[in-house]
A = this chain, B = another copy of it.
Amino acid sequence: MGDPLRVAIAGLGTVGSGTVRLIEANAGLLAARTGREIVITAVADLDPRDRGFATESYRWYDNALAMAENTDADVIVELIGGAEGIARKVCETAIARGRHVVTANKALIAHHGTDLARAAEAAGVTLAYEAAVGGGIPVIKSLREGLVGNACERVYGILNGTCNYILTAMRESGRGFQEVLAEAQALGYAEADPSFDVDGVDTAHKLAILASVAFGCTVDFAAVHIEGIRQISADDIAFADELGYRIKLLGIAKRTPAGVERRVHPCMVPLGSPIAHVEGVFNAVVADGDFVDTIIQVGRGAGERPTASAVVADIADIARGNRVATFAVSAAELAALPAASMQNHRGAYYVRLMVLDKPGVFADIAAILRDHDVSMEAVIQRARAPGEAVPVVMTTHETAESAMTHCLAAIQRLPFCQEAPHMIRIEPF
Contact = CB atoms under 8 A, between A and B. Distances in A.
A298 interface: yes
A142 B147 contact: no
Contacts of A320: 322-324
A71 interface: no
A208 to B, nearest CB: 20
A168 interface: no
A33 to B, nearest CB: 5
B300 A297 contact: no
Contact of A313 (B22, B145, B328): B145
A274 interface: yes
A148 B292 contact: no
Contact of A142 (B141, B277, B312): B141
Contact of A296 (B22, B34, B149, B297): B297
B322 A306 contact: no
A383 interface: no
**Considering residues A148, A313, A316, which has the most beta carbons from chain B within 10 angstroms of its beta carbon?**
A148
Nearest to A319: B148
A295 B137 contact: yes
Contacts of A305: 290-293
Interface stretch (A24-32, A198-206, A390-398, A410-418): A24-32
A145 B317 contact: yes
A295 B292 contact: no
Contact of A33 (B137, B292, B323, B325): B325
A113 interface: no
B306 A293 contact: yes
Contact of A34 (B148, B151, B295, B313): B148
Given A274-B277, A316-B145, A299 B309 contact: no
A292 B309 contact: yes
B136 A293 contact: yes
A91 to B, nearest CB: 22
Contacts of A29: 149, 151
Nearest to A149: B312
A310 B148 CA distance: 9
Contacts of A300: 292-294
Interface string A253-295: 0000000000000000000001001100000000001111111
Given A306-B292, A309-B292, A148 B274 contact: no
A308 interface: yes
12 contacts: A18-B291, A26-B290, A32-B329, A33-B144, A33-B216, A145-B313, A148-B313, A149-B308, A292-B299, A295-B297, A295-B299, A298-B298
Listed from nearest, the 5 A-B pairs whose CB atoms lie closest are: A138-B146, A149-B312, A136-B292, A322-B322, A292-B309
